[in-house]
Structure 1
């Protein structure tokens, strides 16, 4: 993990740190499992950001103003969250067209989040398909 991201995570409550690290590991795992190439890990707008070539950026963060949730952000001008809302109506809460909201302490490594991350990391090859090929 890059030092700036590690420092950012370390500034959060322990439960949020662990959940963010779990989601980070999931991002890298999905990229490796599907042969999506190297994951570029940076801080953007003060949030941990992950992207692979041909994918749409994924950002993850915890905010003190909403302390009971972790958010997984996607580019708001894509159809990603709209698609996730259609195929995973009951599995997640959503914040507009930009984020999946995961309750703090909830297990985030299950199939639906893994699938959403995969779709985002393959976005540019899927964006022309109905429901992004889901």
Structure 2
């Protein structure tokens, strides 16, 4: 298990009910694993935004912030949140129709204890962590935006 650098983030994870804490801890590891495996992302910054564990590509500025948290009003649920105006969730919906429980343009929801679509989720997180760099390349005409 990866050590917490921010005691506030560690406290939020400790406050989660056991039913979702272990799943959120696995999701946390996935964030760091995807960042390490994705060229151009660099070291992630883990912090709190809106009281939620958040993962930023501050070192390179390559991507959009990804947040994780227990789903509001769902004791056995949790979610991965994306910037609602980025268009990322719509892209995920197109890439993987019916694979995720989608909340509008902002989140992918999951039930505690259920198997995650790990391959697809890793791809989506990688797209979020490279969102800005892909937009810049597309703007310059280097390569299309598609994942």
2:115 is equivalent to residue 107 of structure 1:
yes
The aligned residue for residue 65 of structure 2 is 57
Tell me how far apart the structure 2 counterparts of residues 63 and 117 of structure 1 sit (CA, whole Å).
18
1:60–1:73 Cα contact (<8 Å) kept: yes
Q: How far apart are residue 63 of structure 1 and its match?
A: 3.7
1:133 alignment partner in structure 2: 146
Is 2:14 the counterpart of 1:6?
no
TM-score where L is the length of structure 1: 0.91
More strand by share: 1
One of 27, 30, 34 as aligned partner of 2:31: 27
Q: Could you report, residue by residue, the CA deviation over 1:2-48 in whole angstroms, capped at 9, with x for unpaired residues?
A: 21111111111112111111011001001111242110111010100
4+ residue stretches of structure 1 with deviation over 6 A? Answer: none
Which of residues 75, 78, 84 is equivalent to 2:83?
75
- What is the aligned partner in structure 1 of residue 50 from structure 2? 45
The structural deviation recorded for 1:109 is 6.3
Specify which structure has the bigger relative contact order, considering alpha-carbon pairs within 8 angstroms and separated by 6 or more residues: 1
Q: Which has the larger radius of gyration?
A: 2
Equivalent-residue separation in structure 2 for 1:3 and 1:64 (angstroms):
23
TM-score normalised by structure 2 residue count: 0.84
Note the C-alpha offset of 1:94: 0.4
How large is the Cα RMSD of the aligned pairs? Answer: 1.6
Aligned to 2:21: 17
Structure 1 residue 126 displacement after superposition:
2.1
